[in-house]
A = this chain, B = another copy of it.
């Protein structure tokens, strides 16, 4: 495998074509010529090349309704490159085997009942682990170089998850944090493709955030939103600090809590209403710091933060308004994700495909 020379050009173009098809679905050769800015003949050669190596399938003649010879349609062959994606939660593990182009080929979910997630993953990926080119695990917490430095939810600190998974399954794993994975998912397969700096907030047992800049996960990604200190010297947090957002909001922790509180507040329960409002304000203040520090143009409220945001949009916005400069707010959209709780799994898969495509270059 030559690392330089004209062959590199070919590799890059091949990778670009595969990426294009993976991201934007089946396309005619004419569209590919336009999209990649290459010559017709070059696209023809590339497509033939990729068809021979099995990545791409070409189906003839699709009548467009306009004049001219119909263009041949190229599309990904899902089984040509598969990615194993896994999402670890407190009480369950979700698994998907995704094919090139994004089609989900297999899918499973395992309740943990106190088992180690690594064992559950090893069991569920047993049949497919070797077939997948990449394997990616999304885990809630602070991830650094494959290792989980800190996870409130799982009670882990400094666990080398990539190594444990490798030992249990006999293959390499990439580890990302749930929020960053979800951000990647929403950007690539969701509704946030126009965002140049996307901040995804994930509410699970803990609160984390992930940033996607120009479509790529921010290096050293995960933001421990739950451990932004909103009340200096406030309540003691499990992490050892004081006044963390997580500690101050500890009355909540699940979507159901929010729904109960919202229901109670609607029925005139003043304490519930105040609790919701205060939580919204705390969240808005923590966000203020994150927005000032990172300057996103879009924020998605995921996990149970979705419910909290929908119930408390006004206090969130006003607290945000009190803690960020007008210009940063003016270009900022606040929304909820469109992939629901599939975002992290989708994003984990897309992270894998990014590695696959990079590996072709």
Q: Verify if A202 is at the interface (C-beta below 8 Å from B).
A: no
Q: Verify if A273 is at the interface (C-beta below 8 Å from B).
A: no
Give the contacts of A120-153 with B (CB-CB under 8 A). Answer: 142, 144, 149-150
Known: A150-B327, A223-B294. 4 other contacts (CB 8 A): A6-B6, A223-B292, A225-B292, A293-B293
The distance from the CB of A140 to the nearest CB of chain B, in whole angstroms, is 14
Q: Verify if A22 is at the interface (C-beta below 8 Å from B).
A: no
Would you call B232 and A219 a contact (CB within 8 A)? no
Q: Could you say which residues of chain B place their CB within 8 Å of the CB of A327?
A: 142, 144, 149-150, 157-158
Q: Verify if A94 is at the interface (C-beta below 8 Å from B).
A: no
Q: Mark A224-250, 1 if CB is under 8 A from B, else 0.
A: 110111101000000111100000000
The stretch of A73-81, A106-114, A166-174, A283-291 in contact with B is A283-291
Count copies of this chain in the complex: 2
The distance from the CB of A6 to the nearest CB of chain B, in whole angstroms, is 6
Q: Verify if A325 is at the interface (C-beta below 8 Å from B).
A: yes
Give the contacts of A199-216 with B (CB-CB under 8 A). Answer: 209, 213-214
State the CA gap A6–B240 with chains docked (Å). 58
Per a CB cutoff under 8 Å, which of B4, B142, B219 touches A325? B142
The distance from the CB of A142 to the nearest CB of chain B, in whole angstroms, is 6
Give the interface size class of chain A: 35 or more
Q: 23 A-B residue contacts at CB 8 Å?
A: A4-B37, A4-B38, A142-B327, A149-B325, A150-B325, A150-B326, A150-B327, A157-B327, A197-B219, A209-B293, A214-B219, A220-B295, A222-B295, A223-B293, A223-B295, A225-B292, A227-B325, A232-B323, A239-B325, A241-B325, A290-B293, A293-B293, A293-B294
Give the contacts of A251-310 with B (CB-CB under 8 A). Answer: 285, 288-290, 292-295
Would you call B142 and A241 a contact (CB within 8 A)? no
* Chain B: CB-nearest residue to A288: B229
Q: Could you say which residues of chain B place their CB within 8 Å of the CB of A232?
A: 230, 285, 322-323
